[in-house]
């Protein structure tokens, strides 16, 4: 066995206006887990994309199994035993799990794809590593956690001995995340080396063997879990000390802003996902919606913000009935929305950062008049969002697609907050965001509340809900099982309710 699986030596990668990796060196040994930490835009994704052959480095070397290599594309990396689970899954939705796994390396019998053989191997791999998945299910029918398993199996099927995962737990429920960490641990016992990117320090301390911290493209620290603490890591990442707790005063609820009555909403497959939810959110309070993902949170949020048709029930904002109104009508009534899926509903990747900063009101003054948009005003506005929300970018004219994941999120939050809003609907507002930025966004949410906005917060992170919410509503199987005041909403009690246990 070689003693160096994968390494970057003095890797440099330049994007227009940004030095994304600056003389970066990291090493991965067999059976070890290397965690990459760093703020949004620090260059983590860029580094692993270089290691996987997606980007060519401008300088430095890549070493795979003690050999200096020149990767011309991902297939070069794959054939050398590198597997990667991308931040965005690379799966063909209408094809079956087994087909997705073997695609590009299909076993054949008499010239045809031998799906029976493929199925056997998939089942064998999934039982071996605890990655159970139905090989004949269509990928499009699977929840994200399962799709991620398919991605991991895809790499293992190709005999990968290095697995790179870019923010794999960002899209998972806490239970799924724990399971994934156990699976990864199990993998290392067979000699696989793992590169793991995350913003969750708890995970890093729990699973990593080596920790490398990046800031502004450079390695600023290398450590191990037994020498590090959460606050120490946070400080190393951001370069200043970070308050990990949210400071806030008691809420002073005013009039009802969001009124939801007996709302019923179907999911994509036409099944009842929100089953008669009634809920009120008052001005000046934060109502957190807790629940295991897939219990109707998404459909509830989409119905409230106009992205999904409600099959029955009523919804009003500030006393105005708006059930099944258009997203624009709802936004015009003072609703800000931080969507759960930022790529799909949050930004238009090909548009510039400036255009994205006014997506919700480009058609109104001062951004346009008589159907003509005013570029200068939009640029100025974008510039102020960038400064206030610390969006790391070379300029406001670049395409939104060139932003790092967390900076896209900051841009969306900045856009939705830069106007007086009556109601803020925030779904997973800090997904993929670094510790420093989480602190900042949490403060801004509380600030909105104190300015009199009603806030509906949906999050898969129970900690986020417990630290921000004034009242906690728990969804289970599409129904609102209980609404608790924050002072009685303990981790245990909410946890039981999330499991559907109401004693």
> Which residues are at the interface with ligand ATP (CB under 6 A)?
15-16, 18, 20, 38, 40-46, 392-393, 402-407
Q: Contacting another protein (CB under 8 A), which of 22, 23, 58, 106?
A: 106
Least separation, in Å, of the C-beta of 112 and another protein?
Answer: 4
Does residue 45 interact with Mg ion by CB under 5 A? Answer: yes
| Inter-CA distances, 280 with 195, 302, 317, 450, Å | 44, 16, 10, 18
Q: For residues 134-163, which are near another protein according to CB under 8 A? A: 154
Q: Contacting Mg ion (CB under 5 A), which of 170, 288, 291, 405?
A: 405
Q: For residues 72-91, which are near another protein according to CB under 8 A? A: 73-75, 78-79, 84, 86, 90-91
351 binds, among Mg ion, another protein, ligand ATP, none (CB under 5 to 8 A by kind): none
Least separation, in Å, of the C-beta of 269 and another protein?
Answer: 13
C-alpha 329/C-alpha 146 separation (Å) is 36
C-alpha 385/C-alpha 418 separation (Å) is 8
Does residue 407 interact with Mg ion by CB under 5 A? Answer: no
Does residue 350 interact with another protein by CB under 8 A? Answer: no
Q: Contacting another protein (CB under 8 A), which of 59, 104, 191, 394?
A: 104
418 binds, among another protein, Mg ion, ligand ATP, none (CB under 5 to 8 A by kind): none
**Burial of 417: CB neighbours in 10 Å, binned 0-12, 13-18, 19+:** buried
* Helix intervals (H) in 327-404: 327-332, 353-356, 375-388
Does residue 46 interact with Mg ion by CB under 5 A? Answer: no
Q: For residues 107-126, which are near another protein according to CB under 8 A? A: 108, 111-113
C-alpha 349/C-alpha 401 separation (Å) is 5
Kindly give the pairing relationship between strand 423-427 and strand 454-458.
Answer: parallel
C-alpha 156/C-alpha 48 separation (Å) is 18
C-alpha 205/C-alpha 190 separation (Å) is 21
95 binds, among another protein, ligand ATP, Mg ion, none (CB under 5 to 8 A by kind): another protein
Point out the residue whose Cβ comes nearest to ligand ATP.
406
- Which residues, including other chains, have CB under 8 Å from residue 92's CB and lie 6 or more apart? 99, 100, 103, 139
The torsion angles phi and psi of 123, rounded to 5 degrees, stand at: -65, -40
User: Which residue's CB is nearer to ligand ATP, number 121 or number 431?
Assistant: 431
Which of 123-131, 259-267, 402-410, 417-425 is the region at the interface with Mg ion (rule: CB under 5 A)?
Answer: 402-410
Kindly give the pairing relationship between strand 33-38 and strand 193-197.
Answer: parallel
Least separation, in Å, of the C-beta of 89 and another protein?
Answer: 8
Q: Tokens in use for 58?
A: 């401008």
Q: Tokens in use for 15?
A: 């994007």
256 binds, among another protein, Mg ion, ligand ATP, none (CB under 5 to 8 A by kind): none
Q: Residue count at the site for another protein (CB under 8 A)?
A: 25
CA dihedral (114, 120, 121, 122) positive or negative:
positive
Does residue 92 interact with another protein by CB under 8 A? Answer: yes
Q: Contacting another protein (CB under 8 A), which of 19, 63, 69, 103?
A: 103
Which of 459, 451, 462 has its CA nearest to residue 423? 451
Beta strands in 138-207 (DSSP E): 162-166, 193-197
Q: For residues 3-62, which are near another protein according to CB under 8 A? A: 54
* Residues engaged in binding another protein (CB under 8 A): 54, 73-75, 78-79, 84, 86, 90-95, 99-100, 103-106, 108, 111-113, 154
* Residues engaged in binding Mg ion (CB under 5 A): 45, 405
């Amino acid at each position: 066995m070689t003693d160096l699986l994968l390494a970057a030596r003095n890797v440099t990668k330049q994007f227009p206006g940004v030095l994304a990796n600056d003389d970066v060196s990291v090493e991965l040994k067999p059976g070890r887990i290397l965690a990459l930490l760093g703020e949004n835009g620090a260059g983590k994704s860029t580094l692993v994309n270089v290691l996987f052959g997606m980007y060519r480095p401008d300088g430095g070397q890549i070493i795979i199994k003690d050999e200096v290599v020149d990767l011309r594309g991902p297939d070069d990396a794959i054939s050398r035993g590198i597997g990667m689970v991308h931040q965005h899954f690379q799966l063909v939705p209408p094809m079956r799990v087994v087909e997705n796994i073997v695609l590009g390396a299909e076993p054949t019998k008499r010239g045809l794809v031998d799906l029976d053989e493929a199925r056997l191997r998939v089942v064998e791999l999934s039982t071996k590593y605890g990655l159970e998945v139905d090989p004949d299910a269509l990928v499009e029918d699977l929840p994200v956690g399962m799709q991620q398993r398919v991605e991991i199996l895809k790499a293992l099927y190709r005999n990968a001995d290095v697995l790179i995962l870019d923010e794999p737990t960002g899209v998972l429920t806490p239970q799924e995340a724990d399971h994934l960490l156990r699976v990864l641990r199990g993998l290392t016992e067979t000699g696989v080396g793992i590169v793991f990117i995350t913003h969750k320090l708890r995970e890093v301390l729990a699973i990593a063997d080596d920790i490398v911290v990046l800031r502004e493209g450079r390695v600023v620290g290398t450590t191990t879990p037994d020498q590090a603490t959460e606050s120490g890591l946070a400080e190393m990442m951001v370069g200043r000390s970070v308050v990990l707790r949210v400071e806030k005063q008691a809420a002073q609820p005013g009039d009802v802003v969001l009124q939801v009555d007996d709302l019923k909403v179907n999911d994509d497959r036409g099944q009842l996902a929100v089953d008669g939810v009634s809920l009120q959110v008052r001005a000046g309070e934060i109502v957190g919606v807790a629940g295991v993902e897939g219990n109707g949170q998404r459909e509830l949020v989409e119905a409230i913000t106009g992205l999904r048709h409600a099959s029955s029930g009523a919804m009003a904002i500030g006393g105005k009935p708006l059930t099944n109104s258009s997203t624009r009508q709802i936004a015009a009534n003072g609703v800000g929305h931080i969507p759960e899926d930022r790529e799909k509903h949050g930004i238009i990747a090909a548009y510039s950062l400036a255009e994205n900063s006014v997506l919700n009101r480009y058609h109104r003054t001062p951004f346009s008049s008589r159907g003509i948009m005013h570029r200068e005003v939009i640029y100025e506005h974008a510039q102020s969002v960038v400064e206030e929300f610390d969006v790391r970018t070379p300029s406001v004219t670049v395409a939104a697609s060139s932003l790092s994941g967390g900076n896209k999120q900051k841009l969306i939050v900045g856009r939705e907050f830069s106007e007086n809003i009556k109601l803020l609907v925030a779904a997973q507002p800090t997904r993929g965001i670094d510790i420093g930025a989480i602190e900042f966004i949490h403060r801004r949410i509380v600030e909105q509340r104190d300015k009199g906005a009603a806030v509906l917060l949906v999050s898969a992170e129970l900690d986020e809900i417990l630290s921000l919410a004034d009242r906690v509503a728990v969804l289970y199987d599409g129904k609102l099982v209980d609404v608790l005041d924050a002072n009685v909403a303990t981790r245990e009690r909410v946890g039981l309710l999330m499991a559907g246990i109401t004693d």
